[in-house]
Chain A
Amino acid sequence: MYPEDRYYTKSHEWIKVEGNHATVGVTYYAQEQLVEVVFVELPEPGMEVKAGDGIAVLESVKAVSDIYAPVSGTILEVNKKLEDQPELINKDPYGEGWIFSLEIIQKEEIDKLIRATEYQSHIKNEPK
């Protein structure tokens, strides 16, 4: 449920890094907590973001959550499919439910992110 090939944030985003390019989505745990995602507000391609900025919004029936940029960079692409099929986040959070990709500016920011095992122990301690 928590692929080893990516990094995680404590705010429940995953990030898959390939060179200077990174894809971002939310974790299995995040989509499970949200229950049914009904709307996704995507960032604009070309937008410059800093690590920790709230740049996308996931809306479920009873809650709204901000999605934060795990690292600083420029938004390259957004998953337009989510506009009509927000449920992809629930169905396939690590694949078809990706949210945006970005070009990483400061590679060293990645070192501050956590790996799958650490993330799993983090969510165990989350208040329910």
Chain B
Amino acid sequence: MRYIPTTDQDRKEMLKSLGLQSVEELFDDVPDRVRLQGELNLPSAQTEYELFKSLKSLAEKNNNLEQYPSFLGAGAYGHLIPSAVQHILSRSEFYTAYTPYQPEISQGVLQAIYEYQSLICSLTGMDVANASLYDGATALAEAAVLAGEATKRKKIFLPMTIHPEYRMVTQLYLENRGMEVIQIPHDKGQTDLNYLKDNINEEIAGVLIQQPNFFGILEEVKEVASLTQKFGALLVVSVNPISLGILEAPGHYGADIAVGEGQGLGNPVAFGGPFLGFFATRDRFIRQIPGRIVGATKDIEGKRGFVLTLQTREQHIRRQRASSNICSNQALNALAATVFLCLVGKKGLQEVANLCLQKAHYAYRKITSIKGYSPLFTQPFFHEFPIQTPDSPEVINKVLLEKGIIGGLDLKRHYPELGPSMLLCVTEARTKKEIDTLVQALENYHE
């Protein structure tokens, strides 16, 4: 956006045309008690150099993931990012582009989105993917909504092994659409299949499942899929895309909708985001997909081109009757995912996933052999695992931080019944030395 300064003269003229004396008069309608009295609490003007230094020293108060090895995952994952990702993202044609409504001037952005959709389809084994959503949580909620619309049924199964925040978002969406959420308890960190078997019936619109689940554990997705299909419900799988380097694609075991958080694909962990929700499904649901789809076509001269093909369910056209009222997608984050996937390739993704698996299992073996630390669950896992801790994780994490290590997630916040336990995550970005340092720190914890 252009910055257009106003001079005192400009302001005077504007006020005059409004018939006002001062800027204060413009705000007369705002009651005094809620108005800022006096000046903003800001230091006086600084030179560029002074300003740069003071902002830098403020920024340095934050601990960052380059200095501190992090074993915290739980939905936001620190992976290695090839530097070309940032370079391509920094091209102004991409980062200044808003929604590419005008295909004739947005071919680059449209092509990038088209490639992204294609990559998400190959990754998930699905027919069609949209141009991205806000995050993994809203993508899951939108998928549950689609299951309801497509089956004309009103009940959704939501296992307790799904990310607790995803569950909260989904619950909020569904309740306000008159749908009922039925929670499925977990059995040793896995969705309780017996509960599912005993309770599923023809009133269920969809079964949601996370693979790997919030505890990092692998769910019995094939069994869930066959149960779901038997009763005509839709299977919605929320996947960690990196894990698809070694795990089967949801499209291959019968998922109707595959969603997830794409942050791990070339997007750094940055406070609360931005995140990237992906959404892929079967051809037959193409008109019920939230958001938009970019398609490839030919122009009058036969040249290949790209256009927004399906966007008529969107808020700017359908208003209150849109499939989804999230109108913007995450084009720049989707571009990061596209560049990341293209750079690492099939084999590279497999290697990343395998390294995550191997390193996490190495850490798991080391940590669970320390006195006082034992596995919370013993089911197969990918790159996250919960362990019982001898003390409150809050205290342990404080000690770890003093040694320059970011520990795991205290599970008390979402699962108080599990006792003192933390969820640890190990990605390919952690070195053996960092893992050994963590193990050492946990071992020496009481000293």
Say whether A63 contacts B321, CB under 8 Å. no
Residues of B within 8 A of A59 (CB): 287, 312
How close is B295's CB to chain A, nearest CB, in angstroms?
Answer: 11
Residues 314-345 of B, flagged 1 when their CB comes within 8 A of A and 0 if not, give: 00011001000000000000000000000000
Alpha-carbon distance between A118 and B318 when the two chains are bound, in angstroms? 29
Cβ–Cβ contact A64 & B317, under 8 A: yes
Q: Is B321 in contact with A66, judged by CB distance below 8 angstroms? A: yes
Given contact pairs A39-B287, A41-B287, A54 touches B321 in the complex (Cβ within 8 A):
yes
Q: Give the distance to chain A from B350, nearest Cβ to Cβ, in Å.
A: 39
B312 contacts A64, C-beta separation under 8 Å: yes
Residues of A within 8 A of B321 (CB): 54, 66
| Assembly CA distance A64 to B315 (angstroms) | 11
Asked whether any CB of chain B lies closer than 8 Å to the CB of A128, the reply is no
Q: Is the CB of A63 within 8 A of B312?
A: yes
Q: Does B313 contact A (CB under 8 A)?
A: yes
Q: How far is the CB of A50 from chain B (nearest CB, A)?
A: 17
The answer to whether B317 and A63 touch across the interface, beta carbons within 8 angstroms, is yes
Residue pair A64, B287 in contact (C-beta under 8 Å):
no
Q: B residues within 8 A CB of A62? A: 312, 317
B312 to chain A, nearest CB (A): 4
Minimal Cβ-Cβ distance residue in A for B318: A64
Q: Chain B: interface residue count, which band?
A: under 10
A63 to B321, CA, bound (A): 13
CB distance from A22 to the nearest CB of B (A): 24
Q: Which residue of A lies closest to B309 (CB)?
A: A61
Give the contacts of A44-72 with B (CB-CB under 8 A): 44, 54, 59-60, 62-64, 66
Q: Chain A nearest CB: distance from B260 CB in Å?
A: 28
- Cα A63 to Cα B312 in complex, Å, equals 6
B256-293 toward A: CB 8 Å interface, digit per residue (1/0)?
00000000000000000000000000000001000000
Which residues of A have CB within 8 Å of B312?
Answer: 59-60, 62-64
Which residues of chain B have C-beta atoms less than 8 A from A44's C-beta?
A: 152
Closest Cβ neighbor of A57 among chain B residues:
B321
Report A-chain residues with C-beta under 8 Å of the C-beta of B152.
Answer: 44
* Cβ contacts B228-244/A at 8 Å (1 or 0 each): 00000000000000000
- Tell me, in angstroms, the Cα distance from A100 to B261 when the chains sit together: 42
Q: State in angstroms the CA–CA spacing of A66 and B318 once bound together.
A: 9
Residues of B within 8 A of A66 (CB): 321
Instruction: With CB as the reference atom, state the residue of chain A lying closest to B152.
Output: A44
Residue of A with least CB distance to B322? A64
A62 vs B321: C-alpha distance when bound (angstroms): 16
Distance to closest chain A CB from B425 (angstroms)? 43
Bound Cα distance from A39 to B317, whole angstroms:
15
Nearest neighbor of B308 in chain A, beta-carbon distance: A62
Residue of B nearest to A54 (CB): B321
Once the chains are docked, how many angstroms separate the CA of A64 from the CA of B317?
Answer: 7
**A to B CB contacts below 8 Å, 16 in the list:** A39-B287, A41-B287, A44-B152, A54-B321, A59-B287, A59-B312, A60-B312, A62-B312, A62-B317, A63-B312, A63-B317, A64-B312, A64-B313, A64-B317, A64-B318, A66-B321
- List the 4 shortest-distance A-B pairs measured between CB atoms, nearest first: A64-B312, A59-B312, A64-B318, A64-B317
With contacts A60-B312, A64-B313 known, what are 13 further pairs, Cβ within 8 A?
A39-B287, A41-B287, A44-B152, A54-B321, A59-B287, A59-B312, A62-B312, A62-B317, A63-B312, A63-B317, A64-B317, A64-B318, A66-B321
